[in-house]
Amino acid sequence: MRGQEPLLEVKDLRAYYVTKRGIVRAVDNVSFDIMPGECVGLLGESGCGKSSLALAIMQLFDRVAKFAAGTSGARAALDRYLESQEQGGPVRHGVQGSIIFRGRDLTTLPEEELVRVRGREISLIPQGMTRALNPQFSVGMQTGEPVAIRETQVRLKELREKVLQYLNLVHIPDAGTRFVLDPGSFSGGEAQRILIAMALINGPYLVIADEPTSALDMTVQRQIMNVLQMVKEEFDVSLLIISHDAGVIAELADRVAVMYAGRIMEYGDAVQMFHEPGHPYTQGLMASFPTIVMMQMQAGKKRPRLRGIPGDPPDLTDIPSGCPFHPRCQFAQDRCREEIPEYREVGPRHWVMCHRYEELQSNGP
């Protein structure tokens, strides 16, 4: 992948919204990229801004923000505030910064082109499959809908064949007879696989899967993981897998971005980050998952211990000063409480947001 241009390059992205409790800084100065054919895992605890980042990339963030308590006047005031900031720039769809996708900035793309990009070039598999499928229409109709919207002249026979091809690809049993049924006739795992088929049917360049295995039992999770692995290996597509489960990310991702309080704390090669995490938050996160600790033990790491991170993630309306992780970090010093750390490139394509990275690496935690 070296020498290639990124498929997606997100720079200095901010996505805030207004609630009765104050401004929610859901995505705060986020930068990262995804290369063609690459699978990037976005990992972090619930409520850290992962889903907001996905919606911001899709330019759908303002639709979520509309559900917050803020009025349109409050939104306009927030946009004026963001635009007046030093690192400002126009705010569109509640998002500031740039999202370069295949050489075009999605934040400045005309609305009709944006609709085309969303329908054909980037697919989002949303969280919560029961709400994502419409109970009033058959699964076959919903799976074929993205194609019918793109090709208004498509013949019914061709559309049916394509729908069945994709339902078979994601292992829906008896798809040929069941595709006329409504979503209520399918299990949770089948519904999630149908959403994957819908996301792939138009041949997108990028698929974003938001918590693809959450709220499913272990057997069904395994089926979804197998389908995603198949997509990764057999489709010419980039993936952004969003999860709070490090085991899911470890199995699929080539690179990992760890998110905390709306920011990316560390971004780098998946193998390195799972075996030698550099940021104190990543270290704590990895040590919270038995599967990751086992993986580290198998790789010969000394005395890995299973332990959680003390405290709770911050309220995004009241993010701590300086390094947002400082109230939970055992290495925090005065500087951490006062100054937001810069991103430092600590290795090839490996970034860490921590004042004390070098010191902790040389002295050991």
Q: Which residues bind ligand SF4 (CB under 6 A)?
A: 280, 323, 325-326, 329, 331-332, 336, 341, 354-356
We find the least distance from the C-beta atom of residue 330 to ligand SF4, in angstroms, to be 8
* Least gap, CB of 67 to ligand SF4 (angstroms): 32
Q: Annotate 199-251 with DSSP letters as a single string.
A: HHTT--SEEEEESTTTT--HHHHHHHHHHHHHHHHHSS-EEEEEES-HHHHHH
Task: Tell the smallest beta-carbon distance from residue 265 to ligand SF4 (Å).
Answer: 7
Minimum gap (Å) between residue 263 Cβ and ligand SF4: 11
For residue 183, which phi and psi values (nearest 5 degrees)?
-55, -25
Pairwise CA distance, residues 175 & 169, whole Å: 10
SS3 124: strand
For residue 345, the cross-strand partners are 351
Cβ nearer to ligand SF4, comparing 50 with 328: 328
Residue 355 beta carbon to ligand SF4: minimum distance, rounded to whole angstroms: 4
Which structure tokens are listed for 141? 């109709």
Smaller CB distance to ligand SF4: residue 289 or 357? 357
Q: How far apart are CA 153 and CA 163, in angstroms?
A: 16
Q: What is the DSSP string of 278-300?
A: -SHHHHHHHTT-HHHHHHHHHTT
- For ligand SF4, the closer of residues 10 and 329 by Cβ is 329
Please, are residues 166 and 176 in contact by the beta-carbon 8 Å criterion? no
CB 36 within 8 A of CB 238: yes
Q: Which of 187, 188, 222, 192 is nearest to 209 (CA)?
A: 192
Select 49 or 144, whichever has its Cβ closest to ligand SF4: 49
Considering the complex, what minimum distance in angstroms separates the CB of residue 310 from ligand SF4?
13
C-beta of 30 vs 129, nearer to ligand SF4: 30
Is the distance from CB of 17 to CB of 82 less than 8 angstroms?
no
Distance between CA atoms of residues 124 and 145, nearest Å:
15
Nearest CB to ligand SF4, comparing residues 176 and 347:
347
State the DSSP code for 249.
H
Residue 217 or 338: which CB sits closer to ligand SF4?
338
The least CB distance from residue 201 to ligand SF4, in Å, is: 43
Phi first, then psi, for residue 146 (nearest 5°) are: -60, -35
In the complex with ligand SF4, the residue whose CB is nearer, 132 or 360, is: 360
CB 312, CB 226: distance < 8 Å: no
Minimum distance of ligand SF4 from residue 256's CB (angstroms): 17
